[in-house]
Structure 1
Amino acid sequence: MIRRLIALLILLWGLGFAVFALTLPRPIGDRQTDAIVVLTGGAGRLDRGIDLLARHQAQRLFVSGTDRTVRKKELAVRTGRPVALFDCCVDLGKESVDTRSNATETAKWLEAHHYRSVRLITTDWHMPRAHSDLNRALKGYDVTVVPDAIRSQPGFMTLFTEYNKYVLRLVAAPFGY
């Protein structure tokens, strides 16, 4: 009986991993939202967020997880965008250190600005966990989270590690972790 249960769990884990790897989220097209949130840490994320902001796809952009020493002017230079765009419409979150704290930091920012819709930008393999954590952090607050994934070419170990983190978060979340 125990062996069958263990075999079933392994089978379910394996099937879940296959679905996870084969159905990575994709970028969405133009869709207006109140805000855009970019989670730092991956190529193309910030550029996509700034491009959407410059095209008036949202009112403001929040960059969660920036280093405490980073300034808006530096990001403007790096992205080739006017400093005025950053001064008017970009906020830098400097309190988060991981995906869960990104979600907490972002939820506080969204609530403070009373936004009802947000485009979440992160890498495709990171989106399921980031989206899940943000929805959990926003519990009780009526906001629509629109996932907008940056396409990548993740290797097996990246997918394997991220899938396990995602499953662990799903299992631990009901217990407050």
Structure 2
Amino acid sequence: MIRRIASSFLLLYLFGFGWFGVFLPNPAGPVKTDAVVVLTGSGGRIDRGLEVLRAGLAPRMLVSGVDSEVRPAEFAAQYDLSPGKLRCCITLGYESVDTRSNAREATDWIVAHHIGSVRLVTSDWHMRRAALDLAQVAPAGLTVVEDAVPTRPSFYVLFLEYHKLLARLVQRVLGL
């Protein structure tokens, strides 16, 4: 009996990991939102957020998790932004250090700017946990469009992220 239960859990775990690694979230289409929230980390995320702004799919953007050493002028120079564009449309968030604090920082910004819909930009392997964390703290009724940046994650990255997601789901079920 115990072996059957253990085998069932092992199969569920393995199928879950297979699903997680094979069916990574995709980029969003040309959906307009009130804003873009970009979570810093692996490459391509900020570029994707700026692409959305330039395409007119959102009028403003929060970059959450910016290193405290990065100055707005350096950011503008690196991404070829005018100072006016940076002032009007892009907020650099320096308060978060992990996915949970990204969600809190984004929520504070969303509330302060009365945003009803947001495009969440992060890596494909990170999207599920980032969206889950944001959903836990975001205002009721917020529409979140998941816009995953395609990557080629290693088995190790997928393995770690799958376990982080499982841990977050267990925490959510237990109300922690």
Normalised TM-score (structure 1): 0.95
Aligned counterparts, 1:1-177, within 5 A: 1-138=1-138, 140-177=139-176
Q: How many residues align?
A: 176
Q: Which ranges in structure 1 are unaligned for 5 or more consecutive residues? A: none
String of CA shifts for 1:34-89, please: whole Å, max 9, x gaps. Answer: 00000001101001111211222112100111112222221111112222111111
Q: 2: CA distance between counterparts of 1:84 and 1:65?
A: 22
Aligned residue identity for 1:115: I
Q: 2: CA distance between counterparts of 1:40 and 1:97?
A: 10
How big is the shift at 1:2?
2.1
Q: 2: CA distance between counterparts of 1:61 and 1:77?
A: 17
Aligned residue identity for 1:40: T
CA contact (8 A) 1:119 1:146 kept: yes
Q: 2: CA distance between counterparts of 1:147 and 1:166?
A: 16
String of CA shifts for 1:147-170, please: whole Å, max 9, x gaps. Answer: 000000011111111011101100
String of CA shifts for 1:80-111, please: whole Å, max 9, x gaps. Answer: 22221111111111111111111111111111
Q: 2: CA distance between counterparts of 1:88 and 1:59?
A: 9
Q: 2: CA distance between counterparts of 1:28 and 1:145?
A: 11
Aligned residue identity for 1:141: A
How big is the shift at 1:20?
0.7
Q: 2: CA distance between counterparts of 1:153 and 1:14?
A: 20
Normalised TM-score (structure 2): 0.95
Q: Which ranges in structure 2 are unaligned for 5 or more consecutive residues? A: none
Aligned residue identity for 1:145: V
SS in 2 for 1:37: strand
Q: 1: CA distance between counterparts of 2:13 and 2:106?
A: 30
SS in 2 for 1:128: helix
Question: Percentage identity across aligned positions?
Answer: 48
Q: 2: CA distance between counterparts of 1:84 and 1:55?
A: 17
Aligned residue identity for 1:27: P
- When the two chains are superposed, the root-mean-square deviation of aligned CA atoms in Å is 1.2
Q: 2: CA distance between counterparts of 1:6 and 1:80?
A: 55
